[in-house]
Amino acid sequence: MNMTTAVYNLDGSRRGAVSLARLASVPVREDLIRRAFASESSKLRQAYGADVLAGKRSSAHYHGRRGIRFSMMNREIARMQRIHGQGHLDFVARFVPQAKKGRRAHPPKTEKDFSKGMNQKERALALLSAMAAGTDKGTVQSRGHKIGAAELPIVVSDELESLTKSKDVAALLRKIGLGDELSRLEKKKVRAGKGTARGRKYTRKRGPLIIVKEDRGIIRAARNIAGVDVATLNELTISMVAPGGRPGRLLIFTESALKDVDKHG
């Protein structure tokens, strides 16, 4: 694997190279990436449960005692909570799980914990491994990215962090050879299933992820470009670097951000 990559200026010209020693030495652990993605997704799952009184709002009561009116003793009928004066033999069952309109036997409960834990060192290695996958051209192209002849990962000077307009960010992406990628991101399709009625009718491809050391306007500038995401190193998550738990997203680093990754890992 190439241990260096070119650094681009804002005008698309090259101005030297930067080391990839850390990312080049990390193996791509797809198993860890999938586990980290599952762990991260599990913590976003919203708790849900049934109404604690569901199926219990009934006047049904037990009629099995002896010596009382409407007793079920000595009658061929199961001794469960019933409403007298209705149904078979003037007793209709309620409340119990096997009865019509009764409660559920084991309803979902809000206290259930869906989160999946993962060791901190494993999570950090998974994130680093996902970034390392972004240095392999075959892996990146397998996700559908149109990268042309660009060297991976793409590194831009720190001036990128100070861009404040979307048109400037889009112009830079075209200058470094990502025009076809932007065209790919303009397409959207109707989602299959019920999501079309739930506020998420369309789906769109994931484009490049811009990783910066410090936000000086770039996040606001790039957020209006379809499919393009921006994050600082401290904000990075597996969902950003490997959407769906699948490594190989096209990464664009600023020079300082890549040096920090190479220095601290």
pLDDT tens by residue, 140-190 = 999 999 998 888 999 999 999 999 999 999 999 999 999 999 999 999 999
Give mean pLDDT, residues 69-92.
79
pLDDT of residue 197: 95
pLDDT tens by residue, 186-211 = 999 999 999 999 999 999 999 999 99
pLDDT tens by residue, 52-72 = 999 999 989 887 778 777 777
Helices (H), 11-99: 21-25, 30-42
Give mean pLDDT, residues 247-257.
95
Domains and CATH numbers, the chain: 4-45+117-264 (3.40.1370.10), 47-113 (no CATH)
Instruction: Provide, rounded to the nearest whole percent, the portion of the chain with pLDDT above 70.
Output: 97
Angle, helices 120-133/30-42, rounded to nearest 10 degrees: 120
pTM assigned to the model = 0.83
Instruction: Provide the 3-class DSSP secondary structure of residue 83.
Output: strand
Instruction: Provide the 3-class DSSP secondary structure of residue 90.
Output: helix
